[in-house]
Each structure stands twice: as C-alpha cells, then as structure tokens.
Amino acid sequence: MSVKIFVAGHHGMVGSALTKELYKNSANVLVTADREELDLTCQEAVVDFFNQHHFDQVYLAAAKVGGIHANNTYPAEFIYENLMIEANVIHAAHMNDVQKLLFLGSSCIYPVLADQPIVEEALLTGGLEPTNEPYAIAKIAGIKLCESYNRQYGRDYRSVMPTNLYGENDNFHPVNSHVIPALIRRFHEAAKSNIKEVIVWGTGMPRREFLHVNDMASAGVYIMNVKESIYKKNTKPMLSHINVGTGIDYSIKELAEILSEITGFHGDIVYDSTKPDGAPRKLMDVSRLTGLGWIPSIELKEGLQKTYDWFCKNEELLRL
C-alpha cells in the first residue's frame, strides 16, 4: 500500500537527504512544494495545501537555519519564522488527520551547561546558550506542540534532536553558515589563492559532535518507522523527542586541522577570540537511539572528504 508523504524543506540539506532516503522505498509517494508556491509561515497557504492533499505522514525539515553568527544577528527571524512554520504545519497536519509526523529540532534546545553527554530528560532543566536562545525556544515550542497533540488527540508526532549536521547541499555562506561549510570554503579558497593564513572563529576550544546528513536522513526515516509501542518504551511516556548523533565529539581546533589537511591548506590557522565560542560542549547521549537499533555509518573524516569532494564539484552552483 502506498504512503503519501509531505517533505517540508526538500531543497535544504536535510530535506534533500530525507527525500533520497524515502525514495528508496517504492511504496512512498512524496509531495514537495517550493517556497514560492507554499510559504510555510503563511497559515492560510498551509491550510489550503493540506486541504488539497491527504497525507499519511509529514517530515518537517523546513526551518530558518544558520550558524552561530546568523543566530546572533537575526534573532527575530529565527524565533518568528520557526514558530510560525512549526505551528502552521503541525496544526494543519492534525486538522487533516495526519497521524504521523517527524519534527526536526536541534541539540541547542538543551541547557548550555547540561551534564555531558546530554540526555533527553535535560530539556528545560536550565538556561540556554545566549547566541541561539530565540531559535532554541522556537524548537522547544515545536517539541511541545508535538507532545501536546499526542497527549490531547493521540497523535504520533515524534521529534528528533540532531547534533550539528554537515554534508552535501549545506549552506556555504561565508558568515551565516555553520562551522564545517564555512571552514571548507575558507580553507579551499586560501589553498587555491595561496593565502598564508586562515581565521577560525573563537578559541578553538569548544567541542562539537558532527553527524553526516545521510546518517541523519537514515536515522530520521528509521525513527519514524519504529513501531509506536517500541518507540514509547524507549522514551518516558509523554516525551516525544530523541537525540540523534554519533556520541563522539571533537574540538573546533581538531576539526580545523582535519579540514586544512583535506583541502590542502598548508598555512597558519589563527583563532579569533573576539568571535563567540557558543556552547562549550554539546555531546549528546544517544543510548535511546542505539537502543532502538540505529547506529551511524559515516565516520567524520570520511564524511568531511565526501563533503569537500561535493563542494568542489558544485562550487559554482552553491548558495553562497
């Protein structure tokens, strides 16, 4: 029997990987819409769109996304657009009797000084990291929307909390992107132009856990398809969210050194400590996910090399 699925955000890094992953199952019938046809912040447009289709499932991978600088510079857009997208899509899914939905949150929902590795239960136990608090608040609202429709209406809306992601179709903007695409581009351009020095933001000391987007897509589809009774057994009764990561982290300095090697940059790496470090560490406890039977398959160096190869092939077409 076919399963009609709406993938919101299908042009994005995660949405495009999810689309590929979902196409592996020939029973899936995917529906997507470009932003020009469907602005997800517009309630009327979202209601009309859901009324036209009868979806069995929704993957909500559309969001206003960016790295530490973008979050710190455009907090109003990050909180407003994300709240609107989540409220519109999750509510419209419920009103149209869509029983299953997967919402993408982020590891920044957890308190900035949470015990490491961070367990799902750490949510709302402390203050958030200031540079991305508005985005994190919107993501927490998304989790609570899912939990509330589950509690009140018996929906099966699950939320994945991915660690920092990277891979093909990432945003390689020089300042608004995340650290991996930013450094790939900066090291690549320096190596090509024989520039002797590359600036890396912050002290290089923060630690981050990185997951390749193909692993993220595989985990997302896996989690969506775990039987409800088994998924609930692995979460506290009302908890709808689950961490997605590798369980391994690296310092930004270690990451920069790996990327300089991959891109063939042989100059000096200079740390600009006037730029924010953000959270000191964000390593997630992934035992709930591994307990469900999923483990990642792309090791960091391999994933970075694949991403760099993809960047070199697509440099001219990228949204920079």
Query: Interface with ligand F7E includes 142 (CB under 6 A)?
Result: no
Helices (runs of H) and strands (runs of E) counted in the chain: 11, 12
| Residue 62 or 182 having the CB closest to ligand NDP | 62
Pick one of 144, 275, 281, 306: the residue that binds ligand F7E (CB under 6 A). 275
Task: Provide the minimum distance between the beta carbon of 135 and ligand NDP in the complex, in angstroms, as a whole number.
Answer: 8
CB contact at 8 A, 216 and 14:
yes
Please confirm, yes or no, whether 271 is among the known catalytic residues.
Answer: no
β-pairing, 197-201 vs 268-272, is parallel
Q: Which residue has the tokens 């092939």?
A: 313
β-pairing, 250-251 vs 207-208, is antiparallel
73 in a labelled binding site: no
Residue 8: HSE in the Cβ half-sphere, 13 Å Cα cutoff: 28
Pick one of 14, 40, 60, 108: the residue that binds ligand F7E (CB under 6 A). 108
Task: Provide the minimum distance between the beta carbon of 251 and ligand F7E in the complex, in angstroms, as a whole number.
Answer: 10
Q: How far is CA 74 from CA 172, 215, 254, 301, in A?
A: 18, 29, 29, 32
Among ligand F7E, ligand NDP, none, residue 62 binds (CB under 5-8 Å by kind): ligand NDP
Beta strands in the chain (DSSP E): 3-8, 28-31, 57-60, 100-104, 156-162, 164-166, 197-201, 207-208, 210-212, 241-244, 250-251, 268-272
Residues 48-87 that bind ligand NDP (CB under 6 A): 61-65, 81, 85
Pick one of 164, 176, 214, 218: the residue that binds ligand NDP (CB under 6 A). 164
Residues 254-283 that bind ligand NDP (CB under 6 A): none
- For residue 104, give the nearest of 82, 81, 78 by alpha carbon: 82
Pick one of 8, 63, 68, 300: the residue that binds ligand F7E (CB under 6 A). 68
Whole-angstrom Cα distance, residue 187 to residue 265? 6
| Residue 58 or 179 having the CB closest to ligand F7E | 179
User: Could you tell me how many residues of this chain bind ligand F7E (CB under 6 A)?
Assistant: 25
Beta strands in 61-180 (DSSP E): 100-104, 156-162, 164-166
Neighbours of 216 (CB within 10 A): 27
Task: Provide the minimum distance between the beta carbon of 12 and ligand NDP in the complex, in angstroms, as a whole number.
Answer: 2
Query: Interface with ligand F7E includes 135 (CB under 6 A)?
Result: yes
Neighbours of 272 (CB within 10 A): 11
Phi/psi of residue 27, nearest 5 degrees = -75, -15
Q: How far is CA 174 from CA 64, 119, 171, 185, 188, in A?
A: 17, 33, 9, 7, 12
Query: Interface with ligand NDP includes 165 (CB under 6 A)?
Result: yes
Stretch that binds ligand F7E, among 120-128, 146-154, 199-207, 303-311 (CB under 6 A): 199-207
Query: Interface with ligand F7E includes 200 (CB under 6 A)?
Result: yes
Stretch that binds ligand F7E, among 47-55, 64-72, 297-305, 307-315 (CB under 6 A): 64-72
Residue 288 identity (one-letter amino acid): R
Among ligand NDP, ligand F7E, none, residue 275 binds (CB under 5-8 Å by kind): ligand F7E
Query: Interface with ligand NDP includes 226 (CB under 6 A)?
Result: no
Residues in contact with ligand NDP by CB under 6 A are 9, 11-15, 35, 39-41, 61-65, 81, 85, 104, 106, 162, 164-165, 171, 178
Q: Which residues are catalytically annotated?
A: 135
Q: Which residues of the shown chain bind ligand F7E in the complex (CB under 6 A)?
A: 67-69, 71, 106, 108, 131-132, 135, 164, 177-179, 182-183, 200-202, 206, 208, 252, 275-278
Give binding residues for substrate as ranges.
186, 201, 208, 277
